[in-house]
Amino acid sequence: MITERLTAKKSRYGYYLIILASALTALIHVFSKPMLESSDTVMQINPIVLAFLVYFIGGIFFTPIAKKTDSISKFGRKDWLFMIGIGVAEVGALIAYFYGISTSTAVNASIFSNSEMIFALVIGMMVFKERLRIKECIPFSMIIIGMMAIPIGNDLIQNNFSMGEMLTGDLLIILSGVLYGIDITLCKFVGDKFDARRVTQIVSLICAGVAISLIA
């Protein structure tokens, strides 16, 4: 009985954290677009520089928080390879998203930004050899059509079936979704072994390092 209560409490706690994470992630989408567009009041920021600042600040923020968690010496070579892969995929996703949102419409950006869930599911099925049930295929197909095919088709019609800046921005945001899907899948291999705060700190600093290497 006590074990069941603890499990239920832990599950609710996990759901609350997922909702909080979604809300905080949404702030990136809200604040990034005006910062990436030039105007009379706001100076345009390079997407790579902005990505570096996001992850550098995140890494510094989590450094004292992760101080009493798993020691870095506990990470093996395979764990470091996974975290480097996570860092490269994540910073690549954010940079692609920033470049995409600077040319795409706000509506399309909000739609495509959710594509990471679809790609994470597809990649997860490929890696873990899971399959959709027949009754799940139709809803899954409708989500893909509604999330990607319709907005891209609308942009193609508006641009007379030519690759304009808007369509390029849409494709970059979709690319960011693919990279985030890879990121989520890789996180599965280290998230269950180590404290999330330590992993977040290390991955954030790796992302910042990758971003600054692109700037240089």
Task: Give the total number of structural domains in the chain.
Answer: 1
State the Cα–Cα distance between residues 118 and 120, nearest whole angstrom.
5
Task: Write down the pLDDT at residue 52.
Answer: 93
Confidence of residue 102 (pLDDT cuts 50, 70, 90): confident
For residue 153, the SS3 value is helix
The reply to whether 159 falls in a domain is yes
The reply to whether 75 falls in a domain is yes
For residue 6, the SS3 value is helix
Where would I find the H helices in the chain?
Answer: 2-36, 47-65, 77-101, 106-112, 115-128, 134-144, 150-158, 165-191, 196-215
CB 201 within 8 Å of CB 193: no
Quote the domain boundaries for residue 99: 32-215
Task: Write down the pLDDT at residue 164.
Answer: 62
pLDDT in tens, 116-130: 777 777 777 777 776
The reply to whether 1 falls in a domain is no
The reply to whether 66 falls in a domain is yes
The reply to whether 60 falls in a domain is yes
Task: Write down the pLDDT at residue 213.
Answer: 93
CB 42 within 8 Å of CB 34: yes
The reply to whether 47 falls in a domain is yes
Question: pTM for this one?
Answer: 0.77
Confidence of residue 161 (pLDDT cuts 50, 70, 90): low
The dihedral sign for the CA sequence 119, 120, 126, 127: positive
The reply to whether 102 falls in a domain is yes
